[in-house]
Amino acid sequence: MTDTGTMVVAVHGDKNKPAIFTYHDIGLNHVTNFLAFFNHLDTKVLMQSFCVYHINAPGQEEDASTLPQGYTFPTMDTLAEMVLAVLEHYG
């Protein structure tokens, strides 16, 4: 939860390791955008060396409910502030 809304973050790996943060492309979420890449055999070393934090835009997480009628999606500036809040939360 940020000051401007909720963002779901999927965490994979040891939180004591260096962090990699991802943010999906338009119309996708962390699963549809990054699953194949992070499950590829060549990225096993990456997953052993880092903790990956997948940030999902509001309403884009896996199994998300339909956004309510009249919902105003955050502006790019607001999304950037939300991402910054997530980064600060996870240190």
3-state secondary structure of 14: coil
In the prediction, which pLDDT does 5 show? 76
Q: For the segment 27-81, what is each residue's pLDDT rounded down to a tens digit?
A: 899 999 999 999 999 998 899 999 999 999 999 999 999 989 999 999 999 999 9
Spatial distance between the Cα atoms of 52 and 73, rounded to a whole number of angstroms: 25
Cross-strand pairs, 76: none
Q: Are 38 and 12 spatial neighbours (Cβ–Cβ below 8 Å)?
A: yes
pTM of the model: 0.88
Cβ burial, residue 20 (10 Å; 0-12/13-18/19+): middle
